[in-house]
Amino acid sequence: MLRIYVYDFCLELAILRDGTQNLPTTQVLPHKRPARMIYLPSTLEKVRAAHLQAGESHKEGQITVYFPSEVAIQRFWESYRATFQTLSAAGAVVVDIAHHILFIWRRGRWDLPKGKGENGEPLEITAQRELQEETGLVCGPPERFLSKTYHIYTEGNQYFLKETAWYLFRCPLLTPPVQVQTEEGIQDYRWVSPQEIPFLYPHSYGTIRDMIEYVLREVLSAPSR
């Protein structure tokens, strides 16, 4: 499954499971936009138009496009992403010894430390550097790669697809103080327990919510080895 955002509107690419019935096809786009669709060949332009139009209208919601296999998803995804200029970035999910997660308040949203790479540096180094620059924390190298998120934005008349690789950092302290990088628009920070996290979601981004849900499910709820 893949999820791609334009502002708060999500395009989800998923495999059609047995028992999923009565889904309209993407041939109805762009005039009608059902929540769930089956992908048919040669409809990429219609999916793209519906996705961008909904996002640019600042709608909240989701279109799920179903495919018969993972191979079919990847084939569509490669064609879809080729219609945008792609930029690479990396971000940090920081967890303290009590499983609090560090959030930063940036431009009116709860966010996570992240940024673009410099001079071809490895993405895990980008995540480590951005964490230190934006919060002052030095947590050493990341413990592991987590996942990637995707969002589309515009500059002028050009669309960009930003692909962010996320890494897990362990902080060996309990909610240590943070020095936020105000010149990057960061105004505040907060260490948040897993139970408190849902209260932040209305003031966050879809990609951040997806990443945190991944961490709650695959890291903090995973049995210890």
Q: Give burial (CB, 10 Å; 0-12/13-18/19+) of 97.
A: exposed
**CA distance linking residue 55 with residue 136, whole number of Å:** 34
- CATH 3.90.79.10 domain extents, the chain: 86-220
pTM for this entry: 0.91
Q: Which of 114, 100, 128, 108 is nearest to 190 (CA)?
A: 100
Q: What is the pLDDT at residue 31? A: 58
Q: What is the pLDDT at residue 225? A: 45
Q: Which residues of the chain have pLDDT under 50?
A: 225
Q: Give burial (CB, 10 Å; 0-12/13-18/19+) of 71.
A: exposed
Q: What is the pLDDT at residue 223? A: 61
pLDDT digits 0-9 by tens, 176-206: 999 999 999 999 999 999 999 999 999 999 9
- Which residue type does 219 have? V
Task: Please tell me what DSSP assigns to residue 48.
Answer: H
**Which CATH number does the domain 86-220 belong to among 3.30.360.10, 3.90.79.10, 3.40.50.1980, 3.40.50.10860?**
3.90.79.10
Q: What is the pLDDT at residue 39? A: 78
